[in-house]
Every structure is written in C-alpha cells, then in structure tokens.
C-alpha cells in the first residue's frame, strides 16, 4: 500500500527524517562495504583546516566529491571516502598568535615553543564537530570518525619518509635564494603560496637619479615601486638590445629608454636628444651610490645587462638590489656582484643602515623617510595602486629577501610532471592543459622549509663540528639513532634529541618545519601510514581515480600532489580532476562576513533543503571552473521548477495508484504513443547521463535531469491524465500506471547522486512499500542500464508535434482566442507531411482544433483558421464551464474521486444550449470531465457555489457531493 503524499511537503524537515533513517540503518557504511563487482574506485579528499566553518566554496567542492562517489557506488564500485584535517602551519599559528596578542616570532619563543605548540594542538579541531554536522546535513557521505590528521605521528613519519626519499634521489637540497618572505611570520613562503595572496596596495613609485662616475652632470634614471630596497642597491640593469637616449636640458643630462621619453616630458622640461645607443654599449659604466652603506665598491655600482628589463613602464633601467629580488640576485651572480643584506628576519633594517635601523621596511613611513632623505636625487614621485603579494594567512605585505631554505628540485622533475599532466583528465580541460601546464613550465624550485614551530619538523640533524647531515625517515629510525623513546615528533618534543656523529660530536636538529603544503601533497601516502603499513592498499588505490577542489588549488594541493608523486613514483597522484570556480556574492563582490552580502549556507539549507542547494550548485557555472554569483533565487527556482514538479508528479501517481489499488508488475508493453515516447526519452536520458557522468560533466547532466522532469510532468502526465481518471482498469490505464511508475523509479535513481534526500523518500514509497525484499535504500541500488534497441523515431515525431503545438498556441495568443475555445483547422508546413493519427490527435487536443493539415516545406510555419461556427462557440462555453467546475471542486476541497451534482442558473440561452448539447456528448462530455452524475437547472442546496462569468455571460453554479 502506498503512503499518502503530502502535497505541501516541508522538504528541510523531510531531509532530517531521511538523515535519521540513513544513520539508524547505517546506509553509508553498507554502501561502502557491500560486495563490489567492478573493484575499487579510489578518491582522495583534500584536507581542509578546521579553523573556521564551511563556506560555499567548501560546499560546491564537497557536493562534487559526493556526487561522483555515489554514482560510482551505484555502478558497482567500492568507493572508500575518508575525511582528513590539515592541522599544521601558519593558519593555526596565526589564530593562536592573535589569541595571545603576539605580534612577532620573538614573542612566541619567549612564551615557549612547547607551550605554543600545545596551544596550537588545542585549537586545530575547534570547529570539527560543527563541520561534521554541516557536512552531514548537506547530504555528503564521508567517514569523518576515522579522519586522518596531519599532526598524528603516523602521518608525520610518512612525511619524513617522503623527505628522506627525495633527499636520497638528489631532489632535495639546501640553498640560499631570494624568496617571498613574510616579516610578521618571519618565514619564507613558496611561490604558489604567494599566488594565493595578491591584493591591491597603494604605494609611492619614484624615479631616482644615479650620478655617473665619469660625468658628474650625467644621471642614469631608474624607477622603483619599493623605495625601501634602495639602501641595498648594488647595480643598475639595462636591456642589451633596448635603445637608450641621452637627453639634456638646461641643467643636467639623463639616460633612459628612448621608448619612455614621453612619460617624462614634464619632468625633463625643454630637452633634446643628444644621442641614442643600445644598452650593451652602457655596460661597465660606473655610478655613484645613492647610499654609502656598502663598503666594497669594486664589485658594485656599475651598469649590467639582464633579460628581464622592459620598456612597458619605468625608465628601461632597473634598480638592482641582489638581496631583494629574484632577477636582481640572478643577474648580480652572473656579473660577479656581491650580496648585501641590510634587513633582519622581522623585516627591520639592521645596524648596517644606521639611519633606518629598527624601522620596518613594509611600513609606509619608511618609504616616505627614504624618499625625503634622497631629496634632489629623486626626479619624480608618483602615487600608484598595484597588485602586490601579501601573506596568504596573516595578510602582511611580503618582501623578497635572500634567505636559506630547503628546496625540492622541481626543475629536475618538471619534464615528468608535464608528461603526467598531459595524461591526466582535467575538467575543464583548459585549466589543466593550459593554465596548470604553464604553472609547471614556469615553476621554480619549491622552498619547503618554514622558520616556524607548529608543523612536521624537517628531519635533518647536522653535526656542529664537521657539518655532516643525517636525514631521518621515521620515528623508529630516530629512536635507534638517538637511543631516545619517541612518542611524538613535533618540534618541541624532539628539538633537544641529539644524534652522535661519526666524528664523535653531537648532531642537532636543524629546527625548521615543513611547508604544510608538503604535508597535504604527501596525503596519498601519509594518510594510510605508507610505507610503514598498508602497502597493498596503497598500490591498489594509487593514483586516485578522481579528485576535486576549487580553482585556487591549481597553485596549492593539485600542484603539491603533482610534484611529490612524480618525484617519488614518476606519475601523477590522480587520473581525473574536476575543478570548481569561485563563489561570489550576488553583486559580484567577494563574499564578506563584515559586509553581510550573502546568506548563511545553513540558512539556505533550513529554508529550501540541501537537495535544492546541491542541484543549484551542480548546475551552475561553478562546476565549469567559472565564477558563480550565488543567488538565493536560483535555489528557490530549483525547488519550484524541479523538486516540486517531481513531487507533484509523484503525488499524482500515488493518489490514483492508491485509488485503483495498482500493483506494479514491470510489464512495459504498451500501444500508447505517449508511453512509447516517454520510455524512449527516459532511455536516452539514462544513456546520456551515464556518458556525461563518466566524463565528469555535471552542468549538462543537471540540465538534462531538469528537462526530463519537465517533460514528464507537463507533457506526459498532463496528456495522460484522462487515462488515469477513467473508471475501468483496462490495458491502456494499466500501461499508464506501469510506465509512470517505471519512469519515476528510474528517474530518482539517476537523480539520487544529486538529490539524495527526495530520491530516497520517493524510492521508499514507490519501491519498498511494494516489495520489502528490494534494497533498503536507493543508494544501495544499481545504476540503471539503458536499453540498446532504442527507436528515436517516436521522439522525433513527438518533438515535431510539440513544435506544432507551441506554434499553434502562439497563433491563438496573437488572435486573443482562449485555448478552451475550439477552432476548425491548423495547417502545419514543415519537414513532415505525414504523421500517424495518434500524433495528430495530440495536436488537435492541445491546440483544441478539429482538423490538422500537414504540408511539406523548407520553412516551418503554421496557419490557424479562427472563424467560429455556432457549434464551435457552444463547445467553447462547455469547456469553460468544465474549467470553472474543476476549480470549484478544488476550492471546496473535494477528493479527486468524489462524484458530484451540478446545478446552475443563467439568463442567457447560449449557456443552456451549450450544456444541453455537451452534457453527455461523444465529442465532449461535461459529466465525464467533471465526474458529475447530474447537471440541472433545478435549485439545489449546494455545498459550494460561485457567481461566475463564462465567456462574459453571468452564471451561478453550485456543486454537491453524491452521498
């Protein structure tokens, strides 16, 4: 027996009920553990930080990561889904520093590394329970109870194994380079971390006059947006093939790129070009330093060449400070110029520049002081706004600074990475095979050491005496080498553990921690404690069949995975990857808590249901790596146009199937053209969606699912209503039940990865209520298989019918003739001059005409005969009368099966003539349409009555149920 369907269902409440059912029956666990005919489908979940609550970016990626495992499970694969937490690094440290009101790294050291790290340990999972509730409530199935944590010793020692393996392969080295550096965090950052933190910054750009040693009236003009780097200036760099101009005015002579003269017309005044020459002719010219801090001028203060110089901005001459620029450092080394570092680890000037000692180089006032002190050495000062790198966690402006670090030699594995990337399936393709490819091609070696505290320590012990190093690859190895008991390998637990060197002296821990991206990139190995255990599992599941994250992870997790897996195993960590775009506020701005320009995700779930939000996100531009302007209206539209359309179709079926005690047999043999059409359409839907899902194409899939339920409800069911209404249980009626039941059950199966809740509810009522031996949950069923003997002719014919109907109705609207008013003839000219009579009948009924004429033509057109005869006008009145009575039945809250008596009164004979003609007519039967036993003009005491107008004629109508 079918359970009665609530036509006004509260879907958020329904979802809570389904959640309870899943949890009580352990449906997720059963879906993972049930026998899998097709083996394993491996999936890696990138670990988020639990330092804040999930936002829409997490939810869109999380839904993608739920849809495909559900789909693959239904296809007969075993899909294990284990959650993970990123627990180390600057994100956690910054939170603890804010709580303790620490502004510098020194304050942490004074507080005590052990105290600080334990405080970090307390904070890492502060939002874990909230995450679990939200993830579960949005319908995502993943094991969070057995989540891996990057701070667990098992994970950390696998990371040590990765480090040691790369070191032994010659892919990790220690070096000194100019790198992006956060002065507040006092640590270098990797280039891809820098890519996550660009913001607009207001600065002063200045053009500085560097006086020639040979000609005291000649100045080389150099432009810089970082005046604080000028105390570190040791050279000026020109482009060897750039044309430079020597210009003079009444006071002085200047050298700058010829192409930049127009930008300096105002500052140069009335000038003339004395000569032009290529940059290579300027090489070796000496100039006087603007600051006299550097004490070895023999190897500095001259013109050199570099390949990075351009004439797009500035002067075409680049102020070169080897300590503060990657290009500067490189060309300085090439030309034998020394290195001068006047800035300490906290970003303050050292005593080497006494006038500015202690001043922060990122403070605006420092630049102002330097500009003021240069006085007449500055030709031009400009206010500029430029995109500038900031720390991805604390938001402090970065500086480029020469520092020592451990590096992964990305340059040595770049060719492998490019080959692996080419073999990886990316969606969208351009993200991987254009954008990500370019990132790999231009990638520098990866700085992996951080001068911080809360992370996996770099497992390098160095001898104080002979400087020999020992790399440790695991806790047991450290125990054997040191003789100490090892229970935790965080920095504060092992910093005092020494190892005896072969020379007899002590080897001490180097003291840095690893970049947290090195840890997340090690996730495929470290999450299962490989290679110390789970070797067989690793070999089975690596590389992952599928991963998915946001577009920002091209510079983050995707990149770190690609580097480490190629360095270790010569292959990518993943075979397929889906990249989602950024979720913006509806106005196109970044979502901001302070601006309150977006609705809380859980408010949306509690208002519309998780199914509506999931379907909206999966059909949005976000799944194609494009930006999505989140719109609550979009979620509401899914609820109204998709979920309610499906629900009403399901409710319609259950209502009439219950009345007729229908029991499905699975017999889909039918002669009805509508049945054949919807079955063909369903078969093609299954086929197309399977193909699209296998290619990870979500947005097209969502559109196809939406279109089908619209066709099912607004064409198949609407066209078939009379088949369900008729009293006799003949073959045609039973066929309609069988077909609609089959369509609904099959449809909710392919819908279930997207809308797991409403699909489950419909499945329980349509399937389990009829046969308790079926799989207890829709998510334990098999993915539908499309029929191979498909006949698309029925769909082609029906498409033509619908086109003709749409055009015919449009003609009615143009002529302001209601659809309920029958007309004589519709002539359809187009690609077909013949259709089976079943199809012609549909056109007649839909457009309400007596005759359809088909003509062959290259162009599609329709002609409508709008002339009304007396009989046509009478039938129009009869149809309008039926519509009015049907509306009154609903208002009176009569049951659909209730039979009625109708009484009416009117002063117009047209209505009497119409009703007497069509009350029991074979062409149009008012009694049959309204379930009326009697239509009378006698006065009756009515349960419900209305004064209405029918085609402008006043009529009073009353209705009673037949007792």
Annotation marks residue 86 as catalytic: yes
Does the active-site annotation cover 590?
Answer: yes
CB contact at 8 A, 829 and 859? yes
What CA–CA distance (Å, rounded) separates 654 from 852?
Answer: 35
**Alpha-carbon separation of residue 745 from 738, 749, 768 (angstroms):** 11, 6, 11
Residue 264's nearest CA partner among 198, 314, 329, 229 is 314
- Is 302 in contact with 286 (CB distance < 8 Å)? yes
- 553 as an active site residue: the answer is yes
Burial of 236 (C-beta count, 10 Å sphere; 0-12/13-18/19+): buried
Write down the catalytic residue from 160, 406, 426, 557. 557
Q: Give the number of other CB atoms < 10 A from CB of residue 651.
A: 17
479 catalytically annotated: no
Three-state secondary-structure class, residue 287 = strand
C-beta atoms surrounding 887 within 10 Å: 12
SS3 956: strand
Nearest to 150 by CA among 590, 455, 542, 457: 455
**3-state DSSP of 801-835:** HHHHHHHHHHHHHHCCCCCCCCEEEEEEEECCCCC
Using a 10 angstrom Cβ sphere, with 0-12 exposed, 13-18 middle and 19 or more buried, the burial of residue 665 is: exposed
Element (H or E) spanning 549, and its range? strand 547-550
Question: In the annotation, is 47 catalytic?
Answer: yes
Task: State both tokens at 165.
Answer: 């393996």
593, 641, 856, 891: the active-site residue = 593
Among 160, 517, 647, 715, which one carries the catalytic annotation? 517
**8 A C-beta contact, residue 558 and residue 577:** yes
Give 889-898's long-range contacts (Cβ < 8 A, gap of 24+).
889/930, 889/959, 891/944, 892/943, 892/944, 892/959, 894/959, 894/961, 896/655, 896/656, 896/659, 897/659, 897/931, 898/931, 898/961, 898/962
User: What are the φ/ψ torsions at residue 680 (nearest 5 degrees)?
Assistant: -65, -40
Distance CA 214, CA 288 (A): 10
Between CA 491 and CA 119 the distance in angstroms is 14
Strand, helix or coil at 942? coil
Which of the following is catalytic: 86, 203, 515, 541?
86
Is 947 in the active site? Answer: no
Give dist(CA 339, CA 53) in Å, integer: 46
Active-site residue 783, yes or no? no
The single residue of 83, 552, 553, 844 carrying the catalytic annotation is 553
Contact in structure between 876 and 951 (CB atoms under 8 Å): yes
How far apart CA 332 and CA 72 sit, in angstroms, is 56
| DSSP run (H or E) holding 731 | helix 731-751
Q: What is the DSSP string of 198-209?
A: EEEEEEEEEEEE
DSSP 8-class letter at 262: G
Sheet containing 547-550: give its strands across: 425-427, 576-580, 547-550
Strands 425-427 and 576-580: parallel
| Residue 523 contacts residue 46 (beta carbons within 8 Å) | yes
Query: Measured between alpha carbons, how far is 306 from 326 in angstroms, rounded to an integer?
Result: 12
Q: What are the backbone dihedrals phi and psi of residue 721, each rounded to the nearest 5 degrees, phi first?
A: -50, -45
Q: Which residues are catalytic?
A: 47, 86, 517, 553, 557, 590, 593
């Amino acid at each position: 027996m079918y359970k009665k369907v609530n036509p006004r269902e509260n879907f958020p409440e329904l979802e809570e009920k389904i959640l309870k059912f899943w949890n009580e029956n352990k449906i997720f666990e059963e879906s993972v553990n049930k026998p899998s005919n097709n083996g394993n489908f491996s999936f890696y979940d990138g670990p988020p930080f639990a330092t804040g609550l999930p936002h829409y970016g997490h939810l869109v990626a999380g839904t993608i990561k739920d849809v495909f495992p559900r789909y693959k499970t239904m296809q007969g694969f075993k899909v294990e889904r284990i959650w993970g937490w990123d627990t180390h690094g600057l994100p956690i440290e910054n939170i603890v520093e804010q709580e303790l009101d620490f502004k510098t790294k020194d304050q942490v050291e004074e507080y005590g590394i052990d105290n600080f790290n334990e405080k970090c340990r307390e904070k890492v999972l502060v939002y874990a329970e909230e995450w679990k509730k939200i993830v579960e409530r949005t319908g995502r199935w993943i094991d969070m109870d057995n989540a891996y944590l990057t701070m667990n010793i098992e994970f950390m020692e696998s990371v040590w194994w990765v480090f040691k393996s790369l070191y032994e392969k010659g892919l990790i080295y220690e070096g000194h380079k100019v790198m992006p550096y956060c002065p507040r965090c006092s640590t270098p950052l990797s280039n891809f971390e820098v890519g996550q933190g660009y913001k607009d910054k207001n600065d002063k750009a200045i053009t500085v006059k560097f006086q020639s040693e040979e000609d005291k009236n000649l100045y080389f003009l150099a432009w810089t947006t970082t005046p604080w780097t000028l105390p570190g200036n040791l050279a000026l760099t020109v482009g060897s093939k750039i044309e430079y101009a020597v210009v003079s005015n009444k006071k002085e002579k200047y050298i700058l790129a010829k192409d930049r003269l127009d930008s300096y017309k105002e500052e140069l005044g009335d000038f003339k070009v004395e000569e032009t020459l290529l940059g290579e002719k300027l090489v070796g010219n000496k100039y006087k330093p603007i600051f006299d801090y550097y004490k070895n001028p023999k190897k500095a203060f001259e013109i050199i060449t570099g390949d990075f110089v351009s004439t797009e901005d500035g002067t075409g001459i680049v102020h070169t400070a080897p300590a503060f620029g990657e290009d500067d450092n490189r060309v300085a080394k090439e030309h034998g110029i020394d290195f001068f570092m006047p800035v300490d680890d906290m970003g303050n000037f050292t005593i080497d520049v006494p006038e500015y000692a202690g001043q922060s180089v990122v403070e605006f006032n420092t630049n102002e002081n330097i500009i003021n002190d240069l006085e007449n050495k500055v030709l031009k000062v400009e206010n500029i706004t430029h995109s500038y790198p900031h720390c991805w966690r604390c938001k402090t402006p970065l500086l480029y600074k020469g520092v020592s670090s451990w590096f992964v030699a990305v340059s040595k594995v770049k060719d492998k990475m490019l080959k692996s990337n080419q073999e990886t399936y990316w969606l969208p393709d351009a993200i991987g095979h254009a954008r990500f490819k370019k990132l790999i091609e231009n990638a520098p070696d990866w700085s992996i050491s951080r001068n911080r505290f809360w992370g996996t320590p770099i497992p390098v012990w160095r001898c104080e005496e002979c400087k020999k190093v020992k790399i440790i690859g695991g806790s047991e190895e450290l125990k054997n080498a040191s003789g100490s008991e090892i229970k935790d390998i965080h920095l504060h637990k092992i910093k005092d553990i020494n190892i005896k060197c072969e020379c007899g002296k002590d080897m001490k821990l180097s003291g840095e921690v690893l970049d947290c991206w090195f840890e997340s990139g090690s996730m495929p190995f470290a999450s299962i404690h490989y290679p110390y255990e789970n070797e067989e599992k690793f070999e089975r599941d690596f590389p992952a069949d599928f991963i998915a994250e946001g577009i920002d992870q091209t510079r983050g997790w995707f990149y770190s995975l690609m580097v480490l897996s190629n360095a270790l195993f010569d292959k990518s960590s993943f075979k397929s990857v889906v990249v989602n775009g950024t979720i913006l506020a509806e106005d196109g701005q970044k979502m901001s808590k302070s601006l309150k320009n977006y609705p809380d995700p859980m408010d949306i779930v509690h208002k519309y249901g998780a199914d509506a939000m999931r379907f909206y996100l999966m059909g949005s531009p976000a799944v194609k790596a494009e930006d999505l302007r989140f719109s609550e209206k979009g979620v509401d539209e899914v609820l109204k146009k998709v979920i309610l359309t499906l629900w009403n179709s399901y409710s319609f079926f259950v209502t009439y199937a219950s009345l007729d005690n229908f029991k499905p047999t699975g017999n889909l043999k039918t002669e009805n053209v509508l049945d054949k059409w919807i079955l063909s359409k369903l078969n093609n839907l299954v086929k197309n969606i399977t193909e699209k899902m296998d290619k990870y194409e979500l947005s097209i899939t969502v559109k196809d699912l939406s279109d089908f339920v619209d066709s099912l409800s607004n064409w198949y069911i609407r066209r078939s209503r009379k088949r369900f209404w008729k009293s006799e249980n003949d073959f045609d009626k039973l066929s309609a039940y069988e077909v609609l039941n089959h369509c609904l059950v099959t449809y909710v199966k392919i819908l279930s990865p997207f809308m797991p809740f409403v699909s489950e509810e419909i499945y329980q009522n349509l399937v389990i209520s009829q046969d308790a031996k079926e799989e207890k949950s829709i998510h334990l069923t098999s993915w539908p298989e499309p029929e191979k003997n498909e006949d698309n002719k029925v769909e082609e014919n029906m498409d033509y019918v619908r086109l003709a109907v749409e055009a015919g109705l449009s003609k009615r609207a143009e002529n302001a003739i209601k659809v309920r008013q029958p007309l004589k003839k519709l002539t359809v000219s187009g690609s077909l001059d013949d259709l089976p009579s079943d199809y012609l009948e549909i056109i007649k009924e839909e457009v309400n005409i007596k005759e359809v004429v088909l003509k062959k033509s290259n162009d599609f057109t329709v002609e409508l005969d709008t002339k009304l005869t007396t009989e046509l006008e009478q039938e129009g009145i009869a149809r309008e009368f039926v519509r009015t009575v049907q509306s009154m039945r609903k208002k009176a809250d009569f049951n659909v099966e209730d039979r009625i008596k109708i009484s009416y009164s009117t002063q117009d004979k047209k209505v009497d003539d119409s009703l007497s003609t069509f009350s029991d007519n074979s062409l149009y039967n008012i009694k049959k349409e309204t379930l009326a036993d009697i239509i009378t003009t006698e006065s009756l005491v009515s349960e419900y009555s209305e004064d209405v107008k029918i085609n402008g004629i006043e009529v009073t109508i009353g209705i009673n149920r037949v007792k």
